[in-house]
């Protein structure tokens, strides 16, 4: 299965892709996670990306596309199937992805648009904590880990993302509507779009995706 998850920040893309990875063995490629790892490792790419990410802006298409194209060249990714979380986020990126897949002789199964009212998204982002190691996501109010600050799945320390502060969250949501909403129309026009209601828990979103 080859999937793309599209949706505003806080819609639950990370949680759902972690479920798809754990249960179906799909390889998750999260552009946001990859950027955060590059920042942590203090690479040139990380330093560049950081300047945009800290303001909630998109990292330029050129470097983003190159970074994802490199990951998608891995034969294991092509063989096992994948979930792309956070890429493509612009129509340019979507066109580039089409070309990459075409060159590998593979097709996309579905582009899943995860849809949710905006107030729910804001509530989910405040209080969000995540695991750097396995990608599990918690919320201090609605879904706390069993032990404070420790991942239930892999026992690693949990962290709060620094782009989850309110001004940056607003900018990320704004960017979603201007840059990424057209990506949904793009996949609608190619016939691969599937819309799911993501306002309930991640399990029901997971069930809707796997049922389709």
Rule CB under 6 A: which residues touch ligand ADP? Answer: 9, 31-32, 35, 52-53, 56-59, 64, 86-87, 89, 93, 163, 172
Q: From the CB of 128, what's the least distance to ligand ADP, in Å?
A: 9
Helices (H), 81-165: 91-104, 118-125
Question: Is the CB of 93 or the CB of 113 nearer to ligand ADP?
Answer: 93
Q: From the CB of 172, what's the least distance to ligand ADP, in Å?
A: 4
State CA 30 to chain mean position distance: 5
Residue 79 falls in the annotated catalytic set: no
Q: Which does 151 bind (CB under 5 to 8 A by kind): ligand ADP, Zn ion, none?
A: Zn ion
* Gap between the Cα atoms of 88 and 33, Å rounded: 14
Q: Which helix (H) or strand (E) holds 202?
A: helix 202-211
Residue 89 falls in the annotated catalytic set: yes
* Gap between the Cα atoms of 110 and 171, Å rounded: 28
Q: How many residues does the chain have?
A: 212
Q: From the CB of 54, what's the least distance to Zn ion, in Å?
A: 24
* Gap between the Cα atoms of 206 and 212, Å rounded: 10
Q: Which does 59 bind (CB under 5 to 8 A by kind): ligand ADP, Zn ion, none?
A: ligand ADP
Question: Is the CB of 26 or the CB of 50 nearer to ligand ADP?
Answer: 50
Q: Which does 134 bind (CB under 5 to 8 A by kind): ligand ADP, Zn ion, none?
A: Zn ion
Which one of 71, 110, 161, 165 is the catalytic residue?
A: 161
Question: Is the CB of 2 or the CB of 172 nearer to ligand ADP?
Answer: 172
Residue 73 falls in the annotated catalytic set: no
Q: From the CB of 153, what's the least distance to Zn ion, in Å?
A: 4
Q: From the CB of 76, what's the least distance to ligand ADP, in Å?
A: 21
Question: Is the CB of 79 or the CB of 151 nearer to ligand ADP?
Answer: 151
Helices (H), 142-201: 166-175, 181-190
CA dihedral 134, 32, 175, 70 (to 10 degrees): -140
The residue written with tokens 């729910």 in the block is 120
Contacts of 86 (CB under 8 A, 6+ apart): 5, 13, 30, 31, 32, 33
Question: Is the CB of 93 or the CB of 139 nearer to ligand ADP?
Answer: 93
- Catalytic residue numbers read 13, 89, 128, 161, 172
């Amino acid at each position: 299965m080859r999937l793309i998850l599209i949706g505003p920040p806080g819609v639950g893309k990370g949680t759902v892709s972690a479920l798809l990875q754990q249960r179906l063995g799909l390889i998750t490629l999260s552009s946001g996670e990859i950027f955060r790892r590059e920042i942590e490792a203090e690479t040139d790419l990380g330093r560049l990306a950081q300047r945009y990410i800290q303001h909630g802006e998109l990292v330029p298409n050129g470097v983003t596309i190159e970074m994802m194209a490199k990951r998608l060249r891995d034969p294991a990714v092509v063989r096992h199937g994948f979930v792309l979380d956070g890429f493509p986020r612009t129509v340019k990126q979507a066109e580039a992805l089409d070309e990459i897949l075409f060159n590998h002789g593979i097709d996309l199964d579905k582009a899943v648009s995860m849809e949710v009212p905006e107030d729910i998204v804001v509530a989910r982002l405040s209080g969000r904590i995540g695991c750097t190691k396995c990608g599990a996501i918690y919320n201090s109010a609605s879904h706390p880990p069993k032990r404070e600050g420790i991942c239930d799945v892999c026992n690693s320390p949990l962290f709060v993302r620094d782009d989850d502060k309110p001004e940056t969250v607003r900018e990320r949501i704004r960017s979603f509507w201007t840059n990424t909403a057209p990506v949904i129309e793009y996949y609608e026009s190619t016939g691969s779009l599937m819309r799911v209601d993501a306002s309930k828990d991640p399990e029901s979103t997971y069930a809707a995706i796997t049922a389709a």
